[in-house]
Structure 1
Amino acid sequence: MPPVNGTRMAVAALAVAGLLSPVPAAAQAQQQEPAGSRQAQQQEPADPRLAQREEPAGLREALDATVAAGAPGVLARIDDDRGTWIGTGGTADLDTREPMPREARFRVASVTKSMVAAVVLQLVQEGRLSLDEPIGKRLPGQIDGGDRITVRELLNHTGGLATYDHAADPADPEQYGKQTYTPRQLIDEAERLPRPERGRFAYSNTGYILLGLLVEQVTGHKLSAELDRRIFRPAGMTRSYLPTTWDGIRGPHATGYHLPTGADPDVPGSLRPITRLKPSFAWAAYGVVSDARDLNRFYQALFGGRLVGPKLLTQMRTGVTTPQAPVFPRYGLGLESVGLTCGETWGATGSIPGYQTFSFADATGERRMTLSVNVQRNDRAVARMLLAAVDALNRYFCGEPYKLPGSRHADRR
């Protein structure tokens, strides 16, 4: 997946999608602040109709381990036929020490890809697209070799495209998060980089920028409007939206942090706040803002057949092998699997400056769990934090601690 400080450490590859480092681009017009954003820190009242399920055994231990391993705070939400369970740990802000909001919004990063993929597959279902048509048919001249790279290959990262976030400068999200990028600029940045071999898995955010443009070309509408019409509203995702240049997060949220390149995570104050950033660099690849409730609703609607028909849903969960096996062994059409002790479970992960997300559901979408931490770290110690998050998923879906294949016990220190 995207690089960590220029390398692909195996443990850091667990954090799918994200560290952008394109060259500077000219700023575009500022997007208007979304309605309701000035109430950003107001907590919504608890829904008295929400059935509270019991806490799964060992899940609290896993959340505490996530914080102990380097996350300022953590939020987990479970929704199933037994009700809802919400657990938090750590803090929403390292200065104020406020608790994590139970209904916190966050940047979901590459979980966005599942939503964009669902829109593309709806267009396929409607006969307006084909998975095996070349992207150049609808977007001529957008990408070199577009007459050979198919929609399917963009969805499952086998199109042989470089990912624009591998560019060298600026590497600091506190710089690029203040700039505005167009899709064309991101694609051009990718085109300056060496391409991986086509036909083999090579994670590329560039492919999803092209898919976003494809949706807009076919529908004649902005991607944000199509996500709202086709995904957010049908799934009841009332807290979700795709921003482009507005740099805030509306609704209750934790302060997001990142660890600058070369910083010592053991030095107090090394984590820097980065809640506010212009997400145009992420857009269709990893730009959506949502919360755990809405992500669970999304996978319930998707896997329950309300967004995509059964044949295409099967194709979404037919994956190619990834370098992140056995932890995240396969990537399908906008979906990835996590290799739990009781078998593969599908959903997505995401990583963007400020937040990392894990969101998965069972085959029917009736059992769902989303976990969010308010930091993006790319140091070696991040492995324990990420494995603690996977342990939390495993304790819910499998009822036991996570064990890496070949290990005698889960690393939960």
Structure 2
Amino acid sequence: MSPANGRRVAAAALIAASLLAPSPAFAQPRHEDPAGVRQALEATVAAGAPGVLARIDDDHGTWIATSGTADLETRAPVPREARFRVASLTKSMVAATVLQLVQEGRVRLDEPIGDRLPGHVAGGDRITVRELLNHTGGLADYARAPEFADPGHYGRRTYTPERLIAEAERLPRPERGRFAYSNTGYILLGLLVEKVTGRDLSAELDRRIFRPAGMTRSYLPATSDVIRGPHATGYHLPQGADPAAPGALKPVTRLNPSFAWAAYGVVSDARDVNRFYQALFGGRLVGRDLLAQMRTGVATPQAPFFPQYGLGLESVGLTCGQMWGATGSIPGYQTFGFADAAGTRRMTLSVNVQRNDPGVATMLLSVIDALNRYFCGEPYRLPAQGIDRLTRRP
């Protein structure tokens, strides 16, 4: 057996033990160490993540753990206060900003985006703000354009929102009215915020979201390619590469983030992400009626793992029910942040790699297992549906 195959077998055995261990008769109380979460983090690394960071905040206090390494060359540990690109968790923050404008009577959820941004997209007179928020507007995703195949290429360029929309408009459109994940819709929502407020989106996020929630380590960069503060090296697996091959993971920490902007550009840390969902679900950012609409979802192709997408929020299907929050993926990092209904129990995980190969599903299962062990007090039980659904995007 080759060393690479040996590593795969060992990883599979560890993950299988993690996911199929007998469930406890009752949820063990959490004091310093939530039962089994460290085991799930170690399984995440065994499945191909260089490193992983997890943070829990609740009435018992704060729990932080890491596994693996922040850098494959230096083997340095993952910083406990690591910053990272939160990717599509940005959408939750932009959605909350849009809904604040709805509360103020300055935007309507069911108004066509073409009324505010005429000429930006074909058929904008029929695509509503609500449809942009929940990915049912029938817009192509610019991130699927050939321009964005290699982060080594597009991560060195500067893009305007208009250029990103133009790239999407060259692609075939999905059916309107059904869920089809589109970063393009959130670029339009970022432009909407700027049009209505007369201020840069970064300034509005700071004023409306970051400061009220106490997110002092969060910001939306424009073109700066550095991550401020302590952080792990971010890695990317090129398309078609074997993740087990030496040197397959390429460092991509430094990226010009203009390609992500309102769709997935925010930099933050686990503490701030947990503070965001505490403030949001606690009713401090958006009123209860609109918060309920944020958590009213449409079905996604990733069910039952991530079964619903609402207005900037998505759910994770655990053994004790659904938790709401978001997942994010950007070259260098994958992020998972979820909370209970009241925002009193929060958990955020950051993995310092973006992989889109089929094998990433095993890594994602280990992350879900970590979430399940905290929120439900037991190992995750693999549903009957195939794990290929974890990586599906329509």
Q: CA deviation at 1:53?
A: 4.4
Corresponding residue to 2:329 among 343, 346, 351: 351
User: Which amino acid in the other structure matches residue 47 of structure 2?
Assistant: A
Aligned counterparts, 1:200-239, within 5 A: 200-239=178-217
User: Which amino acid in the other structure matches residue 282 of structure 2?
Assistant: G
SS in 2 for 1:65: helix
Question: What is the number of equivalent residue pairs in this alignment?
Answer: 358
1:372 corresponds to 2:346: no
What corresponds to 1:257 in structure 2? 235
Q: Give the TM-score of the pair, scaled to structure 1.
A: 0.85
User: Which amino acid in the other structure matches residue 276 of structure 2?
Assistant: F
What corresponds to 2:284 in structure 1? 306
What corresponds to 2:125 in structure 1? 147
1:73 corresponds to 2:82: no
Corresponding residue to 2:150 among 160, 165, 172: 172
SS in 1 for 2:326: strand
Structure-2 separation of matches of 1:380 and 1:128: 44
Corresponding residue to 2:161 among 183, 189, 192: 183
Structure-1 separation of matches of 2:75 and 2:383: 37
Structure-2 separation of matches of 1:99 and 1:241: 24
Q: CA deviation at 1:132?
A: 0.3
Q: CA deviation at 1:212?
A: 0.1
1:383 corresponds to 2:349: no
User: Which amino acid in the other structure matches residue 176 of structure 2?
Assistant: R
Q: What whole-Å deviation, never above 9, does each CA across 1:134-154 have from its counterpart, x for those lacking one?
A: 001111111111110000000
Q: CA deviation at 1:55?
A: 1.1
Structure-1 separation of matches of 2:135 and 2:238: 28
Corresponding residue to 1:335 among 313, 319, 328: 313
Structure-1 separation of matches of 2:284 and 2:201: 20
Which stretch shows the higher mean deviation, 166-175 or 77-86? 166-175
SS in 1 for 2:245: coil
SS in 2 for 1:77: strand
Structure-2 separation of matches of 1:185 and 1:386: 32
User: Which amino acid in the other structure matches residue 136 of structure 1?
Assistant: G
Structure-1 separation of matches of 2:153 and 2:311: 32
Q: What whole-Å deviation, never above 9, does each CA across 1:79-106 have from its counterpart, x for those lacking one?
A: 0000100000000000000000000000
Q: CA deviation at 1:268?
A: 1.2
Structure-2 separation of matches of 1:96 and 1:390: 28
| CA contact 1:299–1:361 (8 Å) conserved in 2 | yes
Q: Give the TM-score of the pair, scaled to structure 2.
A: 0.90
What corresponds to 1:123 in structure 2? 101
1:395 corresponds to 2:368: no
| CA contact 2:147–2:154 (8 Å) conserved in 1 | no
SS in 2 for 1:76: strand
| CA contact 2:186–2:263 (8 Å) conserved in 1 | yes
Structure-2 separation of matches of 1:304 and 1:365: 6
The unaligned stretches of length 5 or more in structure 2 are 1-29, 386-394
Q: What whole-Å deviation, never above 9, does each CA across 1:287-320 have from its counterpart, x for those lacking one?
A: 0000000000000000000000000000000000
Q: CA deviation at 1:379?
A: 1.4
Structure-2 separation of matches of 1:59 and 1:189: 41
Structure 1: 4+ residue segments shifted above 3 A:
none
Q: What whole-Å deviation, never above 9, does each CA across 1:144-178 have from its counterpart, x for those lacking one?
A: 11110000000000000000011123511011100
Structure-1 separation of matches of 2:243 and 2:275: 35
User: Which amino acid in the other structure matches residue 71 of structure 2?
Assistant: D
Structure-1 separation of matches of 2:177 and 2:233: 40
Report the structure, 1 or 2, having the larger helix content.
Answer: 2
The unaligned stretches of length 5 or more in structure 1 are 1-51, 408-413
User: Which amino acid in the other structure matches residue 203 of structure 1?
Assistant: Y
Structure-2 separation of matches of 1:221 and 1:404: 46
Structure-2 separation of matches of 1:404 and 1:295: 27
User: Which amino acid in the other structure matches residue 167 of structure 2?
Assistant: E
1:294 corresponds to 2:272: yes
What corresponds to 1:362 in structure 2? 340
1:110 corresponds to 2:88: yes
| CA contact 1:327–1:404 (8 Å) conserved in 2 | no
What corresponds to 1:29 in structure 2? none
